Chain A
Amino acid sequence: MAAVTAAQPRSSKTESYVDNKRKEDIRQANIIAARSVADAVRTSLGPKGMDKMISTANGEVIITNDGATILNKMEVLQPAAKMLVELSKSQDAAAGDGTTTVVVVAGALLKQCLSLLSHGIHPTVISDSLHKASTKAVDVLTAMAVPLELSDRESLIKSASTSLNSKVVSQYSTLLAPLAVDSVLSVVDPEKPDMVDLRDIKIVKKHGGTVDDTQLIKGLVFDKKASHAAGGPTRMENAKIAVIQFQISPPKTDIEQSIVVSDYSQMDRILKEERNYILGMIKKIKATGCNVLLIQKSILRDAVTDLSLHYLAKAKIMVIKDVERDDIEFITKTLNCLPIANIEHFRAEKLGHAELVEEVSIGDAKIVKVTGIKDMGRTTTVLVRGSNQLVIDEAERSLHDALCVVRCLVSKRFLIAGGGAPEIELSRQLGAWSKVLHGMEGYCVKSFAEALEVIPYTLAENAGLNPIAIVTELRNRHAQGEINAGINVRKGQITNILEENVVQPLLVSTSAITLATECVRMILKIDDIVNVR
């Protein structure tokens, strides 16, 4: 009943005279601005996507393929364009990967919207239809997905390497993918199997070597030297480690203080007292059997002085100083120890135990490694190496994406094919669905379906293939029921993409679709830009 009455008055839209000139202009401007942002990152999609070089305002150079990073560094001013930047950030937060995909999809949707608007369809109608289409799309994707067991390490590695393949470091994907999988799996808490906190995985970047030398370390790595000042030990077996938050230096009160020296003999005495004071502290430390000290950075006074370092070296205690306060939680969690904030509380039960603490020199720099930790917490450290800073940074970003991919799989255990296969399948199924719908809705859903073809199209284009030939063939294969047919960029042809081990988590695809639609709908609903205070 409602549907019948609906069709009739809507067609009479043009009968009443409403001046919409300004609104149309604003909407058009918004869409064009947002699309130009999408076009900027389009070429970086897919395994053969290109990288962007960004030179920031302060002269720093970044080379990256990560959509979120590119957009983040682009200083866009237009409000609608800013929303696209936000969109890629949200995808980064929600899934960690697919940050380029989400922007490209949004761009394609906007393009379709522009043509729908020019046909005189009301923006809210388009917006509602997009919402319907996206819910349907998620259903279709879920139906396509293949369930996965966490014990299936092979599949996890496959999806991590799919994510890595599109990055600068793709040639190292055989190394980095298992590494990402292992590190995520090692921090999964058996009690809460769906939750992974990526903060439990610490990435330490160190200049020198190549990405090949990147390794997973079961233990801790400090990007610092052990203190050499007084020839202290740099290698310690059967280490007993204390994390201290107090300072081993002459006392200092919080109120301003001054020591009055009235004659020469007093000066001597003060020096001696200072020595005794420090010696007293070190003796207490030594008494607990501690032989490695991690000292938190202090801004109020020196964490250690030359004098205390000297005594510590004599007492054969290895010292690592200037540990950031933010890192303390991670360290104590890993070492399974407690931070000590006062010398009075220095007790043996607060120490952590490790088989070996040693200073290792890699390249021309030195790091400290803690391995063989007893009762180690669920944390892990990855040491990323690279020949120059740009490569290391990009490797870190790529690794982060790969970690996110694995995390997605841990929280939502479904895999889906990559290589444009899900998008083309969606496009096909939604296209079929649109024929069942009535009125404007059907028309808008059809446009949504067409917009999704942008992903395989761009993939093919970026790989230097003939996009039209590829997309049409892909469509043909899917129409014949090969739902897993996708673009094999390496071979430059259409193959069953699941067999090629190109897989990605379901969460990445679904969140890309829902987030992109949400953002496009918001842009559509805007009819004015007001300058305010």
Chain B
Amino acid sequence: MAIERILKDDASEEKGERARMASFVGAIAITDLVKTTLGPKGMDKILQSTGRGQAVTVTNDGATILKSLHIDNPAAKVLIDISKVQDDEVGDGTTSVVVLAGELLREAEKLVAAKIHPMTIISGYRMAAECARNALLQRVVDNKENAEKFKLDLMKIAMTTLSSKILSQDKVHFAQLAVDAVMRLKGSTNLEAIQIIKKPGGSLKDSFLDEGFILDKKIGLGQPKRIENAKILVANTAMDTDKVKIYGARVRVDSMSKVAEIEGAEKEKMREKVQKIIAHGINCFVNRQLIYNFPEELFADAGILAIEHADFDGIERLALVTGGEIASTFDNPESVKLGHCKLIEEIMIGEDKLIHFSGVEMGQACTIVLRGASHHVLDEAERSLHDALCVLSQTVNDTRVVLGGGWPEMVMAKAVDELARQTPGKKSHAIEAFSRALVAIPTIIADNAGLDSADLVAQLRAEHHKEGCNAGIDVISGSVGDMAELGISESFKVKQAVLLSATEAAEMILRVDEIITCAPRKREDRM
């Protein structure tokens, strides 16, 4: 009796075979869920929020789908985590990584059933992963030296990434946008400098890239709508009143004129503050907080453009791109760094008026304005574009490029198969299984496109038996095609991250032989 009570009530423990089973089932269920979104003809999912408002998201992005799921299976959570990491690290391939990990586990399950010890499988997988990576490394193309060619590579990568997204129809347009934006960054991976503004209306084709920065705010009344050679002060300060912020502070007076005096003094204080701000020699003032009527008028009198109520994100970016600093005291004008830009003007996009800062200090900065039929389209377009931008900025740093369309998987599978044949012992089964898991990716791509996967993959394998072949699945025509000719490329870094993190995750889940669920923390009864 005493032994049974090791764990608390509600806590549970699953051991050995059962534990492994539970994690396999969970991981494979997750894989099957996102599997259909893989590839250029992958489908979208509606995410219906059960929370208030029943918000609806339509997406094709693996990370977004997984992030929002309710999950109660520990192994499934591991998969979601790797997808998140993939999103943070390289931005794309979030679905691929989960699918590959899932397929590895599916194969492992069979091996375990055939009485092969998990540790043997793990060491086999490790060898296979190493070998696969080397095989891929040998086939990478690096166009770092040739700027022309490299730009073409970027274009291809962007198109490949976008072709599986909602933007696929206008992928040339958006690929151009993304490449231009990333080229402006000149090698930095700081995507903050690229601002994406979404405005409903128009069609996706009307989206455009604009140099500089766009702020979704209005210019104060009676102030200039256009400023050249602007000096900008970005601030976060209260422009209503400087209150004494002690609770219960109050003034006691004995006559009305005294009240008027105090009121006057308050106004005077505000005026002083405004004078101090003006003394910075600026002609544009952007504040995160409200600017009340009175200071607004003072600014208007001084011919200064004042923008109130810019959001946090907005002023931080603005400070970044104009090279200024966010100020909150104005006593030493010389120590405050002002932002500069060549031109500020009001522009109209759709039905809304926005403020455009062009010729900003930070030359890298640019804004992509997305237009589209509805919020769903815009949100999804933003996610897709973000993926493309991430991949491109990563590629700019690591210029190695591989082909796409299931080509890398086939190359790796071939090398891994070779290895399996050379390896003696039980491990070779695991290595063989690894190769099968790799082949599953082109299979799924073909399946999603409604093609005959068995036939296509067999053809593909036959093609790859030749040396130096560029064959992959051409989903558009539904046949095996030359990926180099079709211009389908992917970043090596993404592929490598997919391979390594999927193997790692599979390994981690395989090692598990016991799941202990802790008792949920009891909510205090407030009765």
Contact = CB atoms under 8 A, between A and B. Distances in A.
Interface stretch (A146-154, A214-222, A254-262, A311-319): A254-262
B169 A131 contact: yes
A533 B49 contact: yes
Contacts of B353: 197
Contact of B48 (A8, A15, A529): A529
B447 A253 contact: no
Interface in B241-279: 241, 243-244, 248-260, 262-263, 266-267
A529 B45 contact: yes
B262 A257 contact: yes
A436 interface: no
A393 interface: no
Interface stretch (A418-426, A472-480, A512-520): A512-520
B45 A259 contact: no
Tell me if B's interface is mostly helix, strand, loop or mixed.
mixed
B44 A252 contact: no
Nearest to B374: A86
Contacts of B421: none
Contacts of B449: 122, 124
B43 A252 contact: no
Interface string A502-533: 00000000010011001100100111111111
B46 A329 contact: no
A527 B253 contact: no
Interface residues of B, number: 82
Contacts of A9: 451-452, 455-456, 478-479
A385 B455 CA distance: 72
B197 to A, nearest CB: 15
Contacts of A90: 200-201, 373-374
B266 A528 contact: no
Contacts of A283: none
Interface in B47-92: 47-51, 54, 56, 58, 60, 65, 68-70
Contact of B297 (A131, A251, A340, A532): A340
B35 to A, nearest CB: 11
Interface in A483-510: none
B422 interface: no
Contacts of A514: 203, 373
B300 to A, nearest CB: 7
Nearest to B36: A527
A345 B266 contact: no
Nearest to A122: B450
A82 B56 contact: yes
Contact of A93 (B263, B350, B376): B350
B447 A259 contact: no
Contacts of A94: 201-202, 350
B153 interface: no
Given A131-B169, A198-B351, A533 B70 contact: yes
Interface in B399-445: none
Contact of A533 (B65, B68, B292, B297): B68
Contacts of A277: 256-257, 260
A97 to B, nearest CB: 14
Contacts of B46: 30, 79-80, 526, 528-530
A244 to B, nearest CB: 9
Interface stretch (A39-47, A265-273, A459-467): A265-273
Interface centre among A246, A257, A338, A530, by most chain B C-beta atoms within 10 angstroms, is A530
A254 B266 contact: yes
Nearest to B206: A94
Contact of A83 (B254, B376, B478): B376
B443 to A, nearest CB: 10
A249 B230 CA distance: 39
Nearest to A296: B293
Interface residues on A, range: 35 or more
B45 A522 contact: no
Contacts of A522: 44, 58, 166, 376-377
A299 interface: no
Contacts of B256: 250-251, 259, 270, 273-274, 277
Nearest to B454: A16
Contacts of B332: none
A77 interface: yes
Interface string A235-256: 0000000000110001111111
Nearest to A253: B262
A43 to B, nearest CB: 24
Chain A binding surface SS class: helix
Contacts of B184: none
Contacts of A341: 292-294, 296-298
B221 A332 contact: yes
Interface in A114-141: 122-125, 128, 131
B221 A525 contact: no
Interface string B166-181: 1001000000000000
A255 B251 contact: yes
A530 B33 contact: yes
A125 B477 CA distance: 11
Interface string B333-357: 0000000000000001011010000
B41 A269 contact: no
Contacts of A345: 297, 301
B251 A526 contact: no
A6 B297 contact: no
Interface string B205-243: 000000000000000011000000000000000001101
B45 A526 contact: yes
Q: Which residue among A18, A260, A522, A529 has the maximum number of chain B CB atoms within 10 Å of its CB?
A: A522
Contacts of A18: 447
A397 to B, nearest CB: 16
Contacts of A361: none
Contacts of A527: 36, 43-45
A86 B376 contact: yes
Given A94-B202, A525-B44, A257 B479 contact: no
A186 to B, nearest CB: 18
A258 B262 CA distance: 12
Given A23-B36, A245-B294, A518-B377, A2 B477 contact: yes
Contacts of A6: 476-479
A100 B145 CA distance: 56
Nearest to A337: B222
Contacts of B44: 522, 525-527
B501 interface: no
Interface string B158-200: 0000000010010000000000000000000000000000001
A328 interface: yes
A253 B377 contact: no
Contact of B43 (A125, A276, A526): A526
A245 B297 contact: yes
B272 to A, nearest CB: 14
Contacts of B244: 255
Contacts of A332: 221-222
A530 B374 contact: no
14 contacts: A6-B479, A9-B478, A30-B46, A124-B450, A198-B351, A259-B255, A266-B255, A339-B221, A514-B203, A514-B373, A519-B374, A528-B46, A531-B70, A532-B49
Given A9-B455, A10-B451, 13 more contacts: A10-B450, A12-B452, A15-B454, A80-B46, A86-B376, A122-B449, A123-B43, A245-B294, A245-B297, A250-B256, A251-B262, A258-B253, A518-B377
